[in-house]
Amino acid sequence: MHVTIGVTALYQLVVALVIQDVGFRWFDVAKFSREHQTFVFNVFVFGALFHMFNCRKLYDEVDVFEGFERSKAFLGIVAFCVLFQFLAVETFGDFMDVTRLHMSEWTVTIMLTFFNIPLGMASRCIPVKEPVFKREFDPDNNDEDAKQFLLKLAKDVEHTADARAGRSGEAVNKATHARILSLWFRVYAEHVERLKVVNAFRRAYLDRDMNSELSHNVYKHMLRLTSSKA
């Protein structure tokens, strides 16, 4: 991802400097005029918008449009940004110190900035040496954290019971009830967090995004644990 960011950022910087210096000649307008600066501003914004497609993938996945139909929120955000930019350039005028652009200027804007997508896809083919970490999976030790948590929980319950022994009264009962609720919420939060992990593996498995043997082993073991508890 850092390679893609660097490549597209360099491209957008070069494009911005070029159109700032000579872009006015393409449309026969005065240098640094409002129309010229509006064109520069438009290219900058659409460059960022098209780069959003590259940001959909974090690693070396070349196809940035994979799963595009499921990204309804992303589609809505992009559509809103494009519509707002068009309205801003065409209607806001003095409020944003811009002016309307001709169709040729809009066409060049889209052509220059859309190139961010194929450029970003190509940049993912650049070989990058990533750090390698040793990964191990031992099902026998997988629940060690859970065991330690349950032991601590049992000690807390015993401590609460000992503290209550020989005492009575409404205040003590309320304090004990609050303590029990606190312990219950801790157990519930721990359970929810583990379910989030399991569901993440399930989604990844359904999306065919688990290519390593480690991921398959973790998924199968977590699935057995949840199935047995259910």
Q: What pLDDT does 64 receive?
A: 84
Say whether both 39 and 150 belong to one domain.
Answer: no
Q: What pLDDT does 90 receive?
A: 92
Examine residue 130 and state whether it is found in any structural domain, yes or no. no
Range of the domain at 7: 1-125
Say whether both 37 and 118 belong to one domain.
Answer: yes
Say whether both 82 and 18 belong to one domain.
Answer: yes
Examine residue 137 and state whether it is found in any structural domain, yes or no. no
Q: Model confidence over 186-230: pLDDT tens digits?
A: 777 776 666 666 666 666 655 555 555 656 666 666 666 655 554
Q: What's the structural domain count of the chain? A: 2
221 versus 58: the higher-pLDDT residue is 58
Say whether both 20 and 103 belong to one domain.
Answer: yes
Q: What pLDDT does 55 receive?
A: 86
Q: What pLDDT does 19 receive?
A: 92
Examine residue 133 and state whether it is found in any structural domain, yes or no. no
Say whether both 80 and 22 belong to one domain.
Answer: yes
Q: Model confidence over 125-140: pLDDT tens digits?
A: 888 776 665 555 444 5
Give first-to-last CA distance, the chain, whole Å.
40
Say whether both 14 and 108 belong to one domain.
Answer: yes
Say whether both 177 and 220 belong to one domain.
Answer: yes
Say whether both 107 and 186 belong to one domain.
Answer: no
Say whether both 19 and 109 belong to one domain.
Answer: yes
pTM: 0.55
For a pLDDT cut of 90, what percent of the chain falls above it? 29
3 state SS for 91-148: HHHHHCCCCCCCHHHHHHHHHHHHCHHHHHHHHCCCCCCCCCCCCCCCHHHCCHHHHH
